[in-house]
Amino acid sequence: MRKSSELVKAGRYGDAATWSAAAAGMALELHGPDSIETAVALHNDGFVLRS
pLDDT tens digit string along 1-51? Answer: 577 888 888 888 888 889 899 999 999 999 999 999 999 999 988 888 887
**Burial annotation 13-37 (CB, 10 A radius, 16+ → b, else e):** eeebbebbbebbeebeeeeeeeeee
pLDDT at residue number 9: 86
For 6-35, give the DSSP string.
HHHHTT-HHHHHHHHHHHHHHHHHHH-TTS
Q: What is the pTM (predicted TM-score) of this model?
A: 0.77
Q: For the CA atoms of 36, 32, 6, 14, what is the dihedral angle to 10 degrees?
A: -130
pLDDT at residue number 5: 80
